[in-house]
Structure 1
Amino acid sequence: MSETFILGLLLLISPLVLLLLSIKRTNSNKLNLPPCPPKLPLIGNLHQLGSLPHRSLRSLANKHGPTMLLQLGQVPTLVVSSPEITCEIMKTKDIIFASRPPSKIIATLLHGSDDIAFAPYGEYWRKARKLCVTHLLSTKMVQFFQHAREEEVDCMMANIYETSQKHGYVNMSSILNMFATNIVTRVVSNDLFRDQEKKSNLHMLIEENSALVGAFHPADFFPLIGWLDIFNLDWRAKRNAKRWDNILEVVINNKAKRLKDDVSHNNNRDFVEVLLSLENDPSVDFTFTRGNIKAILMDMFTAGIDTSYITLEWSMAELVRNPKVMKKLQDEVRGKARGKDMIRDEDLSKMSYLKSVIKEVMRLHPPVPLLLPRVLTESSELSGYKIPKNTRIVINAWALARDPKCWEVPDEFRPERFMDSLIDFKGNDFQFIPFGAGRRICPGMNFAMHNIELALANLVNRFEWSMPENLSREDLDMNETPGLTSRKEKRLDLVAKFLAVG
């Protein structure tokens, strides 16, 4: 966040905020609040967030402690990078920390926050989440999609081979995004899976969603100026919501017509058809509208594609940068494969080093480095500090996973740290929560991990990987993009040498 921007914002909002402060001022000295870094008048600590807030906030935590109460404009925000306090928030007192703060951008993009990820904690969220788990994300459904998953991995292998033969190198960022998009669209909406034009637009829409949700929106921190669209963010959100709506409306209408014309169409339904069948089902004990369907579908596409794609891209980058790890992983995978040209789901349980590599990638590069914000629904106490009601809660998962008190040489890529370790990402080890924890843990965790493990095992089994000509592994750019999710800033180009097996 530039100094010019801060100055401009300060000049713009100062009369309004000063008026508010003159009307409503609290004496925080009487409260035992967590420490706060020095702040500026009116904007508080906003200027200290930087373009990559997870990194800036860890630097602040190193100086002021792992539990800080920042003032972001008019919004008190508790930033946590302590496993113990995270456990208290996500486990001991989870129910009062389980809701989401209101957001103008989210409301615009997601039909008034009618999705699962950003919906307030309550009856609708519980029932919508249960619906998605039952019909798409359960262990039973993940197993049901095994054939589709393996077919898409096989298509990716063929695509890599053909592209490598043609160009001499492969744009792995594009290849991996295509794989993640194919598998998610295939199980969520077969119609969208078959429509290449609409499917290719999904990447653009998902990237824009990530940028908008992760951007600084003045209305969220200065409610008095919520009517001002200073940076065209409201306009961009409305434009992106309309583009999503154009795609989803066609998909939903086509599905609705097909279901109406073919009442016997009960087997092998995709997720859109399941949702439509529940739209007017009297046994569903909550209002379920087209807006709900669209918001839930946006969640499934965005979270499902992004998690798999981002983790696979960082995995390939880290493996190329660390040839000893690559060799050890290839030895394990090829040893277990025993000459098979295609590794299948049943082979993965034998590959402990593969799972350790993926855990280490997600430790260093959690897809959402600052977990989705929470809001405290009643006043509480954490580690002796008073936390007022309506305080926004930010958990720095990136900082937790690099805490030197929890991890030896935390900034180094060492998959061996997870071998023979009980630490996992399932929400019980609070120094490692790439999928979150507690009630709001990501329901698509198993779905994503099956996609990632199967894809990565086959990538290292069938190909030898190296940097393009005249580039060394030290030249590989590992910078991140700003936004809700943590992607590689520059695309990943690699040379893939095909290995005949058998």
Structure 2
Amino acid sequence: MIIYFLIILPLILLYLLQKTRKPSKSLLPPGPPQLPLIGNLHQLATAGNLHVHLWQLSKKYGPIFHMKLGSLPLLVISSPKLAKEVMKTQDLAFCSRPKLLVPQRLSYNCLDVVFSPYSDHWREVRKITTTHLFSPTKIQSFHHLRQDEISRVVAKISSFASAREVFNFSELARAVSSNLICRIAFGKRYDEDGEEMRRFYALLHEVQTLMATFFVSDYFPGLKWVDKVAGLVSRLDSTCEKLDCFYRELIDEHLDRNRKEVAVEEDVLDVLLRLKEEKSCSIELTWDHIKALLMNIFIAATESTAVSMVWVMTALMKEPQIMHKVQSEIRSSTGRKGKVEEDDLPKLHYLKAVIYETMRLYPPAPLLVPRESMERCSLDGFEVPPKTVVYINAWAIARDPEYWENPDEFVPERFLNSNLDVKGQDFEIIPFGSGRRICPGISMGLVDLSLIIGNLLKSFDWELPPGMLAEDVDTDSSPGIGVHKKIPLLLLAKKYVG
């Protein structure tokens, strides 16, 4: 990426030196020094983990600071107080999305709920997701799918336990998350070692790579040709064609009359097809609307559950006493019952605290999804122009020492006897965002994660590979949109007999 940036830098300079620039009269927040024309793009292009880099800058320039990414003004928010101002007090002014090339193409020109700019159209699509796709009744209807996938993963781990075999927990988390989401969204389960699952993973990996790729035209619209010359546009075109084919196959399978006759429960795609056929929405659902919404589930839901599973187990392996405490709660609360079920979850207060504390330290999307201001407004005494991109650094906010005691330590007890929640009302911890743009799948994600982790902790005692100590477990993450553990988590499981 750095080499690519260095190659195009002279082209950018040659193009923009011909343009005149009017000095800004806005009272902007402070920020790091900018290079002529490109602003701070060089800093973002060379940053490893962007959320950490921006957190370090916030220590120097404050909880609100300004950067310039080519032609795009950027604000970075790193405090709960200002996050509340952006996502609640002035939510309407900051609730749009910037139009970036990759999200725009993946979402069929922003017909989805995640990347669509704020508009009447977005409000109607949001209504569809909350009313029909992720309502409490709909989430409950997937109960048997969750239990079946959990039974399968427990059986798989049991085989590793019987053989005393070290296994890759990161791979297992990805597999169980992918199959659960595929069954909920598409009514389809893939063989973990089969060609279809490899295709699924390949598509997911390519989308993640493109989302983290630097496209010149996002920051210099007049230089779209540079992306074409670099081969990025053709790569994006190819990926979008593959995704469209993937969605079309799923739709065709669901339209097959034989499948309709044997289907027991509506999956998400069934619901969307029914709404389209009945024309019961205030907007006319097209095939592109349906495919755009499938994309949201395909990317966001699959990733967040798998990432959170790995970080929960990583945190617990580093703190054996916390592992034993949460296992004791689960096993005593569920008794001789063979599994943790959804009606057990309200009793498992320490399990909830462990999951919340994990999401505090390791939010699955540390910068959330970028917002964009829709009008000129004031924030913390500074003037914010319209069309300003806003990064909310949820990772930094959840480590703010003014709000969290010993913020770098894993202490689930901080959520016991506390009203703090991760559902968007407490701005000290916002892994799912807040306000109008809060993740619509938050309730389903928490249920899925809690049940999977609860059952794994009930069914097995967990150990590190021979010769490895708790302090040897690393917490390094890979650069990218989501915070993946850089080195896969390898574990040993021993079947618990209670």
TM-score interval (norm. to shorter) = over 0.9
Match of 2:391 among 387, 390, 394: 394
Identity of aligned residues (%): 38
Choose the corresponding residue for 1:298, options 288, 295, 298: 295
Report deviation, 1:287.
Answer: 2.6
| Structure 2 residue 415 is matched with structure 1 residue 411 | no
Alignment of 1:379-458 (within 5 A): 379-458=376-455
Q: Distance in 2 between matches of 1:297 and 1:15?
A: 41
The unaligned stretches of length 5 or more in structure 2 are none
2: CA distance between counterparts of 1:460 and 1:189?
29
Q: What residue is the counterpart of 1:115 in the other structure?
A: 112
Post-superposition CA distance 1:95-152 (Å, at most 9, x none): 1211111111112222112211101111222222221222221111112211221121
* Per-residue CA distance 1:287-328 (angstroms, 9 max, x = gap): 311111111111112211111111111000110011111111
Q: Does structure 2 retain, via aligned residues, the 8 Å contact 1:171–1:493?
A: yes
Which amino acid is 1:78 matched to? Answer: L
Partner of 1:8: 7
Does 1:35 pair with 2:33?
A: no
- What root-mean-square deviation, in Å, do the aligned CA atoms of Structure 1 and Structure 2 show? 1.9
Instruction: Describe the superposition over 1:334-379 as per-residue Cα deviations: whole angstroms up to 9, x where unpaired.
Output: 1112122211111111111100100010001000001111111110
Aligned to 2:355: 358
**Aligned position for 1:209:** 207
The one-letter code matched in structure 2 to 1:42 is L
Name the amino acid aligned to 2:129. Answer: C
Q: Counterpart of 1:349 in 2: which secondary structure?
A: helix
Q: 1:48 aligns with which of 43, 48, 65?
A: 43
| Cα pair 2:164 2:493 within 8 Å, conserved | no
Q: Secondary structure at the match of 2:478?
A: coil
Q: For 2:360 and 2:171, how far apart are their aligned partners in 1? A: 23
State how 1:332-343 maps to structure 2 within 5 Å. 332-343=329-340
| Structure 1 segment 186-201 matched on structure 2, within 5 A | 186-191=183-188, 196-201=194-199
- CA distance in 2: counterparts of 1:289 and 1:220, whole angstroms: 27
Greater alpha carbon shift after TM alignment, 71-80 vs 145-154: 145-154
1:30-109 map, 5 Å:
30-49=25-44, 50-109=47-106
- Is contact 2:130-2:440 (8 Å) kept? yes
- Look up the equivalent residue of 1:210 and give its one-letter code: Q
1:146 to 2:143 alignment: yes
Structure 1: how far apart are the matches of 2:91 and 2:60? Answer: 27
- Per the alignment, do residues 231 and 83 of structure 1 end up closer, same or farther by CA in structure 2, a change over 3 Å counting? farther
Question: 1:476, 1:431 → 2: CA distance?
Answer: 27
Residue 171 in structure 1 maps to residue 168 in structure 2? yes
Matched position secondary structure for 1:70: strand
- Whether the 8 Å contact between 1:110 and 1:241 is mirrored in structure 2 is no
> CA separation in 2, counterparts of 1:265 and 1:460?
35
Contact 2:432 2:442 in 1 (8 A): yes
* C-alpha deviation, 1:194, in angstroms: 7.5
TM-score (norm 2): 0.95
Change in CA separation of 1:151 and 1:81 when aligned onto 2, cut-off 3 Å: same
CA contact (8 A) 1:10 1:42 kept: no
Distance 1:258 1:129, change over 3 A: farther
Kindly provide the amino acid, as one letter, of the partner of residue 198 in structure 1.
Answer: E
State the TM-score, normalized to the length of structure 1.
0.94
Distance change >3 Å, CA 282–CA 327, structure 1 → 2: closer
Name the SS of the counterpart of 2:225 in structure 1.
coil
Following superposition, the deviation at residue 207 of structure 1 comes to 2.6
Q: Secondary structure at the match of 1:228?
A: helix
Code of the residue aligned with 2:235 in structure 1: it is R
Return 5+ residue gaps in structure 1 as ranges: none
| Secondary structure of the structure 1 residue equivalent to 2:250 | helix
Match of residue 245 from structure 1: 244
Distance, in Å, in 2 between the alignment partners of 1:234 and 1:407 is: 44
Q: Secondary structure of the equivalent of 2:347?
A: coil
